[in-house]
């Protein structure tokens, strides 16, 4: 991955975190990694646990950021969530998978879309 792509991704993750915490969610983990992959954000929403995938794209030329999440990515995120839960003492009422889509604009504020229970 190029430095530019990493910077765009990190920018999107910062915006997503700001957006979600403004909604009252509490960050438990950022960029949690294990040998199977990475979860962008793990958050608490009341008694629920939220695993959040953040997708940032510079344009919609190849689709929206959220459209980049394919079935294989969903399966991997579910496996990672199970692994995260096995390694932590958190016992949520429910587990939810959200997506935050970030689309920077040439002028003005970026478009941030939060999709609750995306999959």
pLDDT in tens, 20-76: 999 999 999 999 999 999 999 999 999 999 999 999 998 888 888 999 899 999 999
Confidence (pTM): 0.92
Number of domains composing the chain = 1
Range of the domain at 72: 3-115
DSSP assignment of 60-91: STT--GGGG--HHHHHHHHHHHHHHHHHS---
**Quick one: residue 10, left, alpha or beta (phi over 0 = left, psi -120 to 50 = alpha)?**
alpha
Give the CATH number for residue 29: 3.40.1350.10
What is the spatial order of strands in the sheet that 26-34 belongs to? 26-34, 37-45, 48-56, 95-103, 111-115
Q: What's the rounded Cα separation, in Å, for the pair 43 and 51? A: 7
Res. 1: pLDDT tops 80: no
pLDDT, tens digit, for every residue of 61-89? Answer: 888 899 989 999 999 999 999 999 999 99
């Amino acid at each position: 991955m190029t430095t530019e792509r990493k910077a765009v991704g990190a920018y999107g993750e910062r915006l997503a975190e700001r957006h979600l915490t403004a909604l009252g969610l509490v960050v438990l983990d950022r960029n949690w990694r294990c040998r199977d992959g990475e979860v962008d954000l793990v958050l608490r929403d009341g008694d629920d646990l939220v695993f959040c995938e953040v997708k940032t794209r510079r344009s919609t030329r190849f689709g929206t950021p959220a459209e980049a999440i394919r079935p294989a990515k969903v399966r991997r995120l579910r496996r990672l969530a199970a692994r995260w839960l096995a390694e932590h003492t958190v016992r949520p009422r429910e587990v939810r998978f959200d997506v935050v889509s970030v689309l920077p604009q040439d002028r003005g504020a970026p478009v941030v879309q939060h999709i609750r229970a995306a999959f």
